Each structure stands twice: as structure tokens, then as C-alpha cells.
């Protein structure tokens, strides 16, 4: 894989994606680690200062005005080869149920988890398409090596598996993200761009709860990357996977 972009890369799963991508047997030549405040992203800045493959770029997924410069910076670096993999990882949660969730919270979560994913994907689509059509082999099979969008969703967005009304804004935003992923897979199939949703497990991050969650960020991201590596062809697109590799029902 030539190039990868991760949103929300300054902490939690996003930061772990950056670290583990660099540790792959064949690491990407370019890792774009996007976050809201590069100047405060101490861990990312340390990684970037030791590894020229990493560029720390400003991207607030809820603020369209920040997209243009980031797309420009990425485009300058990747050129004709385009962007192979977009990991829409940035996300937020709130806890209320149907009776007491605030409508403001619901709007805030949709803005980041759904609208942000749509906006960022639209902004990078031309260079994802460029990667899909850039070829130095005869292999036209869709894959993350070629061109893919991975939306970090949650099992909490699965309607089939749901048995709770807690965190209703989060559950509904991830259900909407799942539908958005499905629509991306249908619309982008003819471009050769794969699109999947991914449940990373219940993970020890600020969101998952460092003391409560059973899965370490390292286990989660290793599982996600191993799962993504196996996705080949149209049949693999338009599905929701878990970090263990199993397919989850929508």
C-alpha cells in the first residue's frame, strides 16, 4: 500500500493505526495522520519527527473549511498514485437514552460521525479514484492495496443485534454510518473503490473506558488491519466487519 489517511489520529484507535501501519512488514510510503490540533498532538509530532513517512495534518471532520488545505497537501505528496486507503476513524459518543438524550447531542454526534464522514469522503474521493485507476500491475481486484474507504463504525449501530436504548444518539449515528457505507459501496463499485464498515471491538480508549473495556488498542488495530488485508473483490465491499474478521449483520 502506497498511502493511507487516518482521521482522529492524535489519540485512541487513530494513534494506534498510525503506529501499527508504520510497523507493518511493508509499511505505506505515506501515512497522513489527521487531527483537529496538530500543534497539540505531541505523540503524533514525536512519531513524525522520527519517521518521514508520517505527515501530521489539520482536519476537523465537522468543519468543511479545514478540508481544502488537507486535500491539497495530500494531493501534492501522492501525485498520480492517489490515496489508497481512507480510514474515517474520528468519532464521538454521548450516553442518554430515548427519553433523556438531548437533541443538541444528537445533532453534534451526527455532525461528526455521519456528516463528517460524508464530507471527508467526498473531499478525498477524486484522489481515491486516482489510486483505483493507477496501476502498475494487471491486478484490477478491489482491495485496500488499491483503493478503499474504511468507516470505523460500531456493533452499537447494528439494528439486528441491538438490545438496548442507551447511548441512542451514538447508536443511531452509527446505524446511519452503516447505511452511508453501504451506499458508498454501491456507488463507488464502478470506480473500483471498496467501502466497508468496521467494528473495532470494545477497546481501552477514552471512549471505550481504559479500565472497563476488554480489548487493548493494539489487539483491536492488529485485528482490523489483518481483516482489511483479506478483503478482495466486489463481494468483500459493502459489509460490516469486526476486528476479529467475522462479518456483522447490519
Q: Which residues bind ligand NAP (CB under 6 A)?
A: 7-8, 10-14, 35-36, 60-62, 89-92, 112, 116, 152, 154, 199-200, 202-203, 205-208, 213
The least distance separating ligand NAP from the CB of residue 221, rounded to whole angstroms, comes to 10
Residues with Cβ within 8 Å of residue 97, at least 6 apart in sequence: 165, 166, 167, 168
In angstroms, the CA 35 to CA 17 distance is 13
Choice between 45 and 133, CB closer to ligand NAP: 45
Contact (CB, 8 A) for 5 and 74: yes
Q: Closest distance between ligand NAP and the C-beta of residue 227, in Å?
A: 14
CB of 140 to ligand NAP, least distance (A): 31
Contacts 24+ apart (CB under 8 A), 102-109: 105/169, 106/168, 106/169, 106/172, 106/173, 108/169, 109/169, 109/170, 109/173
| Minimum CB distance to ligand NAP smaller for 66 or for 143 | 66
The DSSP call for residue 164 is -
Distance CA 216, CA 203 (A): 6
Nearest-approach distance from CB 61 to ligand NAP, in angstroms? 4
Closest approach of ligand NAP to the CB of residue 233, in Å: 26
Shorter beta-carbon distance to ligand NAP: residue 91 or 238: 91
d(CA 212, CA 175): 24
Report the DSSP beta bridge partners of residue 232: 143
Closest approach, Cβ 23 to ligand NAP, in A, equals 18
Nearest CB to ligand NAP, comparing residues 77 and 207: 207
Of 13 and 31, nearer to ligand NAP (C-beta) is 13
Choice between 94 and 133, CB closer to ligand NAP: 94
Three-state secondary structure call for residue 90: coil
Burial of 191 (0-12, 13-18, 19+ CB in 10 A): middle
Q: Which residues of 10-43 are buried (b: 16+ CB within 10 A; e: fewer)?
A: bbbbbbbbbbbbeeeeeebebbbbbbbebeebee
Q: Output the smallest distance, CB 243 to ligand NAP, in A.
A: 9
Cell 445533532 -> residue: 107
- The residue (of 120 and 142) whose beta carbon lies closer to ligand NAP is 120
Amino acid at each position: 500500500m502506497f498511502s493511507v489517511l487516518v482521521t482522529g489520529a492524535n489519540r485512541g484507535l487513530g494513534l494506534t493505526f498510525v503506529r501499527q501501519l508504520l510497523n507493518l512488514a511493508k509499511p505505506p510510503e505515506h501515512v497522513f495522520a489527521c487531527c483537529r490540533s496538530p500543534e497539540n498532538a505531541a505523540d503524533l509530532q514525536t512519531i513524525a519527527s522520527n519517521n518521514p513517512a508520517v505527515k501530521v495534518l489539520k482536519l476537523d471532520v465537522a468543519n468543511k473549511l479545514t478540508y481544502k488545505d488537507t486535500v491539497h497537501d495530500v494531493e501534492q505528496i501522492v501525485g498520480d498514485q492517489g490515496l489508497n486507503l481512507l480510514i474515517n476513524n474520528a468519532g464521538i459518543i454521548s450516553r442518554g437514552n430515548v427519553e433523556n438524550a438531548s437533541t443538541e447531542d444528537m445533532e453534534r454526534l451526527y455532525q461528526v460521525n455521519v456528516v463528517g464522514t460524508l464530507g471527508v469522503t467526498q473531499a478525498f474521493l477524486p484522489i481515491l479514484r486516482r489510486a483505483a485507476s493507477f496501476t502498475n500491475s494487471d491486478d484490477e481486484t478491489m482491495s485496500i492495496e488499491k483503493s478503499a474507504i474504511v468507516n470505523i463504525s460500531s456493533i452499537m449501530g447494528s439494528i439486528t443485534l441491538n438490545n438496548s436504548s442507551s447511548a441512542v444518539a451514538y447508536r443511531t449515528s452509527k446505524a446511519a454510518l452503516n447505511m452511508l457505507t453501504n451506499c458508498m459501496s454501491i456507488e463507488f463499485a464502478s470506480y473500483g473503490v471498496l467501502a466497508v464498515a468496521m467494528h473495532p471491538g470494545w477497546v481501552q480508549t477514552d471512549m471505550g473506558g481504559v479500565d472497563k473495556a476488554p480489548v487493548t488498542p493494539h489487539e483491536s488495530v492488529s485485528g482490523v488491519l489483518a481483516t482489511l488485508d483479506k478483503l478482495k473483490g466486489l463481494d468483500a465491499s459493502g459489509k460490516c466487519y469486526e476486528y476479529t474478521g467475522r462479518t456483522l449483520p447490519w
